[in-house]
Structures are given as C-alpha cells and as structure tokens.
Structure 1
Amino acid sequence: MLELSEVTYAPATVASPILRGASFYAEKGCPLLIAGSSGSGKTSLLEVISGLSSVQSGSIFWQGNAMSRRQRRELCGMVFQFPERHFLGLSVSQELRLGHRRLESEREDRVLQNVGLQNIPRNTAPELLSGGQQRRLALAVQLLRGAEVLLLDEPTAGLDWSIRTDVLNLLSDLAQNQVLIVVTHEPELFNCWESRRLLLQDGRLTQMTTLP
C-alpha cells in the first residue's frame, strides 16, 4: 500500500503551496482516481509521489515504511499525458530495452502481451503507433522497469471513444497487480470505472462521492 501523510508541496516559483496537507492511500486491486481542474496541481502531485519533486513537509510510505525521493523514483513509474513526447527509442523494441543491460525476450513478450501489444512489429517506430498504442507502450516501459506503483497523467487525453474504452479496461486489469493512480480533469470519462475517487481543489484532497 502507498500512503501519503500530510504532504505539502510549495515550489519556490509559486506564491502559495500547490499541495496542502495531502493525505490518502492507494492499494492494489482498486485504482485511485483523482480529479481536478486544469492547474489544480494534479501533475505536481504525481511528480511528488514519483520522486521527481521534493516535498516541503509530510511523508510518503510504502508498505508502512517511509520512502526517500530516490526510493520513490525506483518504486514508481509515471506515464505522462502525452507519452510519445518522451520516447527516445527508434523502434518499439529499442524503446523497451533502453536502460536494460540485458532484457530476456520472454519477459519482453510477456509484458507486451499484458498491455495488448503482442501483435505489433517490434521494429515499428513509436511515432507511427496510434494514440492508444503509444499509451500501452509507455505502460510496458514502466512494467519492464518493475514499477509497483503506476502514475498516469490524463491517460485518456486525445483518444477517441473506442480507444478510451480499451485503455480504461487495460488500466483496470493492471490495477489488480499494481498500485494505480490516475489524475484527470475529465472524471466523467471514468463513469464506468470501479475506483476510489478524490477531488483536488485549492491544494487539498477531499472524498468525491459522485462524478460530475
């Protein structure tokens, strides 16, 4: 289980804290959906959890143990809103193998099967994939890293309705084995999703009982 306890985040470039005493938990088996308007701090929240940014105060725990920023970077895998902007490999296979001295083909096959890319030619350039396939490839990269916590920033952004449904189904399946946290400014797109839901507003997290 991942737990945030009274986390405050206040970068020097802003006048007031972006996060004010954020506290919640997330666990395997039930994805956590965090909704908030554009500019509410959703991406900053994921960056803090993933260790890309430092907390001003408060703690982040994994399985009851406080985690350092470095430990969070190892534990978490972040999929950005437009993951194609962060691809570095010239092919699907190269993208998957970046950062690995040795990657067993069986493990690569298994991960691609898990994200539904088993039929994609490995020499395909990432920019030639559809939007949904690019989301899947970004997830595969994080799974190969061994990320136990998946953090997704607007995973349905720019996708048409049919692809959105496929991506949401995939994420629901992945949540059975990974802690999964999704942030979005369009919570209505997740009406069919079984999840816990929080609202981020004015730097504070509150329970969201119904979707707008």
Structure 2
Amino acid sequence: MLELKDIQYRPSTSEEPVLQGVDLLAHASQPVVIAGASGSGKTSLLEVISGLASAQQGAIYWEHKPLNQRQRRWMCGVVFQFPERHFLGLTVAQELRLGHRRLTSVEQTQALQKVGLAQIDMKQAPERLSGGQQRRLALAVQLLRKPTILLLDEPTAGLDWSVRDEVLELLSKLAREQLLIVATHEPELFVGLSSAAYRLDSGRLHKLPQ
C-alpha cells in the first residue's frame, strides 16, 4: 500500500506550488488513474512519488513505513510521455542493458515477452521501431528494474487507436504484478483498467465517481 500525506511541491521554475496538500492511498493490483489538464501537475506528482523530485512538505509511506527519496527511486519505475525520445542505446539489446552490469539473456527475453516483444530483432535501433513497439520497449526497460511501483505518464499519447488498445491490454496485465499509477489527460481510455480515479485540479486530488 502506497500512501501520500499532505504533499506540497513547488518546482524551481514555478512561483506557486503545483501540488498543494495532495493525499493519496493506492493498493497493489488496484490501478490508479490520475486525470488532469496539461500543466496541472501530473508529471510533477509522478516525479515526487518516484523520488526524482523532493516535496517541500508531506510524507510518503509504503506499508505504513516512511520512504525517503532514495528508497522511492529504488522502488519505482517511471515511463514518461514519449519515452522514445530518451532512448540511449544504439540497439534494442543495448537499451535493455543500460544500467545493468550482469543482465542475462534470459532476463532480457523474459522482459520482452512480458511486453509482447518476444520476436523483436535485438540488433535493431530503438528509433526504427513503431510507436507501439517503442512504448513496449520503454516498459521492458523499467520492468528489468523489478519495480514495486510502476508510474506511467500519458502512456497512450500520440498512438493511433489500434495501438492504444494493445497498450491498454498490456497495462491491464502488468497491473496484476505491481502497483500501477497512470497519469493522463484522457481518463476515459482507462475506465476498464483503474480501480480508483482522481482528478488533479488546482494542486489537489479529487476522487472521481466510477
């Protein structure tokens, strides 16, 4: 169980806090969707949860135990909007191995199988993959870290409808294995996925009826 209490966060580029007293309770195997307009602070919230940013106020707990920023970085896997822009490997194999000293071929294969890329050419450049394949590869990269919490920022952005359906089906499967939190400006796409839906507005989370 993940719990956020009274999170307040103001990035250095903003004069006002983008998160003002955010409270959230999320459980494993019960995906959470956070809706909000562009600029509402959804990405900032994911950055705080994942330990990539530090809140000025509030606390974050896992199973009732407080988590510091470093612990959250270890526990969380994050896939940001358009992750394909951040690929660093020259090949799919290199992309998967980044940050891993002892990654076995079996571990690589298992991660790719989980995201439906079992037959992919490991020597292919990531940027030559289709949009849907690139999202799947980004997910595989994070799954290799074995995250307890998986955070996704606009995972369907820029994809056509057929590919969106494939990605949503994949997320439904992944949600059975770890706590999944999705930030999106298209919450209607995730109605069948989430167990709890919220809207981030004026720096606060408001639970939506389902």
Pair 1:192-2:198 in alignment: no
| Higher mean C-alpha displacement, 75-84 vs 181-190 | 181-190
CA-atom RMSD in angstroms = 1.1
Whole-Å separation in 2 of the counterparts to 1:193 and 1:50: 21
- Kindly state the Cα deviation for residue 194 of structure 1 after the two structures are TM-superposed: 4.0
Whole-Å separation in 2 of the counterparts to 1:27 and 1:6: 18
1:74 match: 74
Pair 1:176-2:182 in alignment: no
Determine if contact 2:9/2:18 at 8 Å carries over to the other structure: yes
- Kindly state the Cα deviation for residue 190 of structure 1 after the two structures are TM-superposed: 2.1
Deviations 1:98-144 (A, max 9, x none): 11111111111111111101011111110011111111111111110
Deviations 1:178-201 (A, max 9, x none): 111000111122233343100100
> Runs in 1 of length 4+ with deviation above 6 angstroms?
none
2:165 match: 165
2:132 match: 132
2:33 match: 33
Q: Which amino acid aligns with 2:89?
A: G
- Kindly state the Cα deviation for residue 30 of structure 1 after the two structures are TM-superposed: 1.5
1:110 match: 110
Aligned length: 210
Whole-Å separation in 2 of the counterparts to 1:142 and 1:159: 20
What TM-score results when the alignment is normalised by the length of structure 1?
A: 0.96
Using the aligned pairs only, state the percent identity: 61
Determine if contact 2:35/2:183 at 8 Å carries over to the other structure: yes
Whole-Å separation in 1 of the counterparts to 2:131 and 2:181: 20
Gaps of 5+ in 1: none
Pair 1:83-2:83 in alignment: yes
Alignment partner of 2:7: what SS?
A: strand
What TM-score results when the alignment is normalised by the length of structure 2?
A: 0.96
Q: Which amino acid aligns with 2:158?
A: G
Gaps of 5+ in 2: none
Alignment partner of 1:145: what SS?
A: coil
Deviations 1:20-78 (A, max 9, x none): 11111222212100000111000000011111111111101112211111111111111
1:207 match: 207
Residues 12-23 of structure 1 aligned to structure 2 (within 5 Å)? 12-23=12-23
Whole-Å separation in 1 of the counterparts to 2:193 and 2:143: 22
Determine if contact 2:33/2:194 at 8 Å carries over to the other structure: no
